[in-house]
Amino acid sequence: MLGVTVRHLLFAQDENFWFETLRSLGHITYGGAEFGEVEATAERITPGDYDSWFDEWYATAERIRADADAARARGHMNTARDSYLRASNYYRTAEFFLHGNPEDPRILQTYDKAIAAFGDFVELSGASVERVAVPFEDTTLPGYFYPSPLPGRQPVVIMHNGFDGTAEEMHFFGAVAAQERGFNVLTFDGPGQPGARQHQGLLFRPDWENVVGPVIDYVSDLPGVDTDQVSLLGISLGGELCLRAAAFDPRIKAVMAVDGVYDFSELMMRFLDGDRAKVRAAVQAAEAPQIDRQLTDAMESSPTARWAITHGMYVMGGSTPREFAARTMDFNVRDGIAERIGCPVLICEAEDDLFFKGQPEEVFDRLTAASDKTLLRLTDAEGAGAHCHVGGQRYAFGKILDWLGDRTPVVADAPVNA
């Protein structure tokens, strides 16, 4: 009954609005929200109305940001720090559904406010987290370094989000949990993710090993990092991207896919007729009116399709839904890529996954070269059965990071000059 109750607490007729609300509720555990603030905001929203979603979350973010500024002015720095963190997350949530119109000025305005509020949080957090800029091709990728609280050289976990999340959100999606356990952590936004997409216009690219490689180069030069113990964690679509990187970069000593994604295009295949080869040929054709109609119908009937396609065109490119669908075909670990991964692999699976149900097993079965592999199933009864275990993050990341600690352990008495 727990799983059913949680799934239908709010927005019973809109699976995406409910999932994003649960996502915010899940961030409570690491300071990213308050239950009452989320519930009061959600109650004001008109189901299915993207403008209503924006207006109400933006209003909440503005109120909390004003509270933070007032507390800071009075010298109440702990209150200000905590309020800036929640405001940043609420701005992120407000902007989430706007990408159907890339010219909407609210996108950049709200994103910039989210980054500014998180920056204020970082400023008031002392030495526990710092902003970084990772050199990448002819630009930089934004991110954050969370140094280990332990002396000496300790393992480092590189973390990135997925199709729609930010490096700032990784604060709640594992960064703090790993730092608490003694790991160094570096989070970053790659191409297609907000820090690289919003102002630089960089779109997602399938060769993620060429994104992660420069990040490993960068983090290896940071103080206190054991360069022989580098691991990688990816969220959602990041669960495919991180596996792709691990297949081609031997410096990665362990990889965690939260959750395991074998082929991102299977999300679109749910709305199209035909096998993968037939659909791939059709979406890449100069004209495919039947596919166009199917995608239009899906967007009209499914909240998931409506959001995934409009957002996907914004972060992967494509001037039409079909062009976006064509681009998804390149994001997978097919054709022997999964079979290349030699390091330890953790594949997470959510019982009630809204987007990629069944894919973790597809990945897991193909990890034939992995030195050890684990399939971690998390359930509704545990409160962690939603996609990426939103709503059960402290529980889920406890298990994930315990798995990692058995493979790249922190050492409490590591020599300072090791």
DSSP annotation of 270 reads T
Residue 238 pLDDT: 97
pLDDT tens per residue, range 184-205: 999 999 999 999 999 999 999 9
In a 3-state reduction of DSSP, which class is residue 312?
A: helix
Q: CA-CA distance, 409 to 418, in Å (whole number)?
A: 15
DSSP 76-122: -HHHHHHHHHHHHHHHHHHHTT-TTSTT-HHHHHHHHHHHHHHHHHH
Confidence (pLDDT) at 8:
63
Residue 231 bridge partners (DSSP): 157, 254
pLDDT of residue 112: 98
Rounded to whole angstroms, what are the CA distances from 169 to 23, 25, 134, 309, 337? 10, 13, 18, 22, 28
Cis-peptide, bond into residue 51, ω within 30° of zero: no
**Pick from 69, 33, 353: which is nearest to 169 by CA?**
33
Instruction: Kindly give, in sequence order, each residue whose CB lies less than 8 Å from that of residue 26, ignoring residues fewer than 6 positions away.
Output: 172, 389, 390, 391, 392, 393
Q: Could you tell me whether strands 225-235 and 252-258 are parallel, antiparallel, or unpaired per DSSP bridges?
A: parallel
What letter represents residue 59's amino acid?
A
Longest dimension (CA), the chain: 65
Render pLDDT for 362-413 as a digit per residue (tens, 0 to 9). Answer: 999 999 999 899 999 999 999 999 999 998 999 999 999 999 999 999 987 6
Q: Is 231 a catalytic residue?
A: no
The answer, yes or no, to whether the previous bond of 365 is cis (omega within 30 of 0) is: no
Q: What pLDDT score was predicted for residue 5?
A: 38
Work out the angle between the directed axes of helices 303-315 and 321-328 (0-180°, nearest 10): 80
- Catalytic entry in 88, 148, 236, 265: 236
Domains of the chain: 1-124 (1.20.1440.110), 129-264+331-407 (3.40.50.1820), 266-328 (no CATH)
User: pTM for the whole thing?
Assistant: 0.94
The DSSP 8-state label assigned to residue 251 in this structure reads T
Q: Is 142 helix (H, G, I), strand (E, B) or coil?
A: strand
Q: What is the structure's pLDDT at 414?
A: 62
Q: What is the pLDDT of residue 2?
A: 33
d(CA 11, CA 48): 9
Sign of the C-alpha dihedral computed for residues 53, 56, 58 and 64 taken in this order = negative
Of residues 22, 361, 15, the one with CA closest to residue 172: 22
State the DSSP code for 253: E
CA distance 229 to 379: 30
pLDDT for 13 equals: 77
Give the pLDDT score at 367: 98
Q: Which residues of the chain have pLDDT under 70?
A: 1-8, 413-418
